[in-house]
Structure 1
């Protein structure tokens, strides 16, 4: 698996990229959100999802309520034989294993896994909307994605991840967490 410093997006199939965003602002049973997110990534392989590239972790205030605990977010590009709806169910199962409880919309959560894009698929696939309809506006998604694939073209608008990160308005306080 390549890290952001080792990944050149030219080595990735950006048109076919399967992109997953991870987030946590309730550490649950883990010692930290970073530990929870690392454990979630470790679980991906057991679920038939291989991580090809990953961003650093990014910190930001909770949105839309900055009074909630801050978030830790990241993005991975994965490979899987699962189709998009099956992958979405797999991501939901991983969230459940990590104690995700769905209460109020945007409430604190132990693990949030969003399927951002599945290749060039676009539209409503029986309730699964691809690409993720709000990802392009979120710096805590586009910033990490721009680290590992700045030239990834959005399947609908065609804008590159690096440009979308510069224009993102939601979570504009998001910043990479310095390595210890």
Structure 2
């Protein structure tokens, strides 16, 4: 699958749930992707960043995976929500601490503003903790709307500027 056709998922956690660490939780979540019909083609290292928008919270761990998907974007999103649920994620307040956050960043070159399914993710390009890990595994991936590469977007990201690989 070419990078332009990539199905990109961002993973994040700052509460390990019943796992020994957020990194362990993210590894466990990633191991569920193939069972959900989303075999992992590439993945980044885990990155750390201060909690956002309140930096006094527990640090986040983030990463990105490129997966193979045969179903439509909404089916992929539902599979991601199901995995989140398996790790105790309850969707509530935006930007609240969470055990697991799985975001569908891009589904190939598709652009959508359907309710509950905005593609590409409307804020991912601003976040170093998403674009940094993506640039690590697919620096030449081109944002379907902005026309910039993951490497360019990582360099210009304004949110999570402290993000760095572990």
Measured against the shorter chain, the TM-score band is over 0.9
2:113 maps to 124
1:75 aligned to 2:35? no
Listed one character per residue, the Cα deviations across residues 121-145 of structure 1 (whole Å, up to 9, x for unaligned) are 1121343000000000000000000
Match of 1:21 in 2: 10
Unaligned runs of 5+ in 1: 1-11
**TM-score (normalizing by structure 1):** 0.90
Q: 1: distance between equivalents of 2:104 and 2:91?
A: 17
Deviation track 1:66-111 (CA, whole Å, cap 9, x = no partner) reads 1111100000100011210010011001000100022321111000
> What is the aligned counterpart of 1:152 among 135, 138, 141?
141
Instruction: Specify the alignment match of 2:50 in structure 1.
Output: 61
TM norm structure 2: 0.98
Matches within 5 A, 1:2-151: 12-151=1-140
The runs of 5 or more residues in structure 2 that have no matched partner are: none
- What number of residue pairs does the alignment pair up? 166
CA RMSD of aligned residues (A): 0.9
Q: Aligned partners of 1:84 and 1:139: how far apart in 2?
A: 24
* 1:164 corresponding residue in structure 2: 153
CA distance in 1 between counterparts of 2:35 and 2:59 reads 29
Instruction: Say which SS state the counterpart of residue 147 (structure 1) adopts.
Output: helix
Q: Distance in 2 between matches of 1:115 and 1:103?
A: 18
